[in-house]
Chain A
Amino acid sequence: GAGVSQSPRYKVAKRGQDVALRCDPISGHVSLFWYQQALGQGPEFLTYFQNEAQLDKSGLPSDRFFAERPEGSVSTLKIQRTQQEDSAVYLCASSPGLAGGLRTDTQYFGPGTRLTVL
């Protein structure tokens, strides 16, 4: 596809449910990032992958959050036992090069998944 796609676009979950959010990056992009954006705030880094390797997961807020990218392409962000404070837009971004050193490629963002936890 031409850009980063995410599904579902909207997700409503009852508190305690597990959810899985999917990201399809631009074909061939090496790096993939997940961000959480709460209402009225900027995106907050969650984790990033270089191919299938998860190189930084320091932004994941708790052990209920888990991300994977098993084949170095599609990625899934899973949230277990959702809580109301998990309500946010979850953004995925990809970039063509390696996210290493001091030079970072432009990140191309998807439309996000808006998660509402009731």
Chain B
Amino acid sequence: AQSVSQHNHHVILSEAASLELGCNYSYGGTVNLFWYVQYPGQHLQLLLKYFSGDPLVKGIKGFEAEFIKSKFSFNLRKPSVQWSDTAEYFCAVNAYAGKSTFGDGTTLTVKP
């Protein structure tokens, strides 16, 4: 069975600080990887995704993630966070038809 682990439950940063959120998954085969974001009062929405090819994936709002197959990791990064990045971030993996497995999420609070 596939599983996803997000190491940080709550991260607090000041504006302009750099961000890295950890995500590790357990599954030995080919996977599709996703980061979703939920802003306060809004729906879950896709931030970025990896299917194949270049392991460095760029998403919306300056976010990027790097797939490191040997480490089973897909960490999310942003060089300089803004107050508007305050949200909950979920990593998800899909290893076979239909079923996606989500991590428990990381709450990011950015102080102005």
Contact = CB atoms under 8 A, between A and B. Distances in A.
A75 interface: no
Contacts of A109: 36, 43-45
Contacts of A18: none
Interface string B74-112: 000000000000000010101011111111110000000
Contacts of B46: 106-107
Chain A interface secondary structure, helix, strand, loop or mixed? loop
A58 interface: yes
B49 A55 contact: no
The size bracket of the interface on B is 20 to 34
Given A59-B99, A106-B49, A111 B43 contact: yes
Given A103-B51, A106-B49, A55 B98 contact: yes
Interface of B: 4, 30, 32, 34, 36, 43-46, 49, 51, 90, 92, 94, 96-105
26 contacts: A3-B43, A4-B43, A31-B98, A40-B104, A41-B104, A42-B103, A42-B104, A43-B44, A43-B90, A45-B99, A55-B97, A56-B97, A58-B99, A93-B44, A99-B97, A101-B97, A102-B32, A103-B51, A104-B32, A104-B94, A104-B97, A104-B100, A106-B49, A107-B100, A108-B45, A111-B43
